[in-house]
Chain A
Amino acid sequence: MSDNSPIAHGDAAHAEHPAYLRHHFNSVEQQADTANFAMWLFLLTEVMFFGGLFTAYLIYRNWYYPAFVAGSHQLSIPLGGFNTLLLITSSFTMAMGVWCAETRRKSGLVLCLCLTFILGLGFLGVKTVEYSEKIEKHHVPGFHYSLSSFLDPDSDAAAKAAGDKPMALDMARHTEVYFSLYFAMTGMHALHMIIGIAILGFMIVRAQAGAYTSGHVTFVENFGLYWHFVDIVWIFLFPLLYLISRH
């Protein structure tokens, strides 16, 4: 409007509105509020997404309980437990990361994000070990699925250790449904982890450039919510898939 003091005008505008305030919001609070609310809604859609799988699990577990128990005995509780520990720790480092961003500690933020990144990769590494074990034992549904661990438990160390009795062929075949759900659920969870880790990599680079430690922490905060959500999904998956007969 007034051409006499464009620089002063620009400075005044800058002081009123930080650079990260998008033009269609009235205030920084409104912008942060909105982004947060959107993230919670997105997580709600994620709950519904996993909800379909949990429903399928619920039904088939009721129908084929013995098969589900025998299937769960093929999973390694120490490995699953260790993974649970890794994820809970990564949630802690992520929460610390959000705190560091809020209190503008750049090196702390980078450290926390790196730790979360490593712990996430560690989880996927352990998951790979578990998956390869299933592949070796032909427990992947649809690929030469083998029933021998369930028809003849003495031939299988894990089944023997759990004290499984030989199952009728009909019920033993339903272990394939258990492993279908196992792979579908943990696979979907792992996919969310991979996406999360990719975003973490991006955030580490941006954090080193100081992007999140100048007062605009929405992105870190919302990613934290996502990460905790993925963690919580695992907290449900672990008992449902690993601990069926351990109560």
Chain B
Amino acid sequence: MNATAPHAGEDKCLLRPGNTNCGGCGMSVGLTMLGRALEKADDSCSMVIPACCGIVTAGAYPTTSYGVPTLAATFASSPAFASGYASVRDLNDEPGQVVCWAGDGGTYDIGLATLSAAAERNENIIYICYDNEIYGNTGGQRSSATPAGARTSTTPFGKTENKKDIMSIMAAHRIPYAATLSMAHPEDFARKMATALATEGTRFLLIDSPCPTGWKSEPEDSIELVRIAVKSGLFPVFEVFDGVRYRINIEPDGSDPAEYFNRQRRFDDDEIDLDGIRHFCAKRMKRLEALANLNSA
């Protein structure tokens, strides 16, 4: 979209080698995928990052692990900082995307009002939430993205409430593009990043982002876990255009979600209501299918 945009940083590397992120970190994969999508589109970006693992990733001043201009925002404020920053970019006809890169705490919880307001104004920014379903940076507390049953340091007996449906919230803002991304499906992931880069206005991408530290899973299982989440319908992979046109990108294959819970020690298998979860996932897929069918009707 910006054919003449220079790639920031001589190394053309959005997430530089030598960062201190955990093994098996989904956020790191997401950042790398974003860098590749930008390179492929001959585009560039500035990042606005609130409090989350993403800003710790930068490392200590004056060095940085980011090969692009990066601005730290207060926890609730990345869409507001980005709105001002992108406004001045546009006033000066400068190239490059403005990308908010935020965790689920900054998105579902403390930053939701700010995000909602930026979406309502249709700010010309890309908002990417790497959702690891936990406050990872502070050592693993529950957020409203944490699924029911998960043990966190603030829900030591398992969370009793269900995960918030952020996609419905964002779709309700009728923004041009909203999509869920799974790193178990890199082609779909890359295509959606490219779609987001080629779209104007507020774009929202939700990445299912494994966190071995918080999920108490093995780092080498990360991709497999998010693959099972897609297959079993735990993480529906879909996109929404203008808040109304739904498209399901990967159909679940009916796989049993049991293994997803077995392989993460944040869940106590005896307390997980698998039948209830299967029923919920099936109902949710039906609803998404019905919404998707409205397009062709």
Asked whether A and B interact, the reply is no
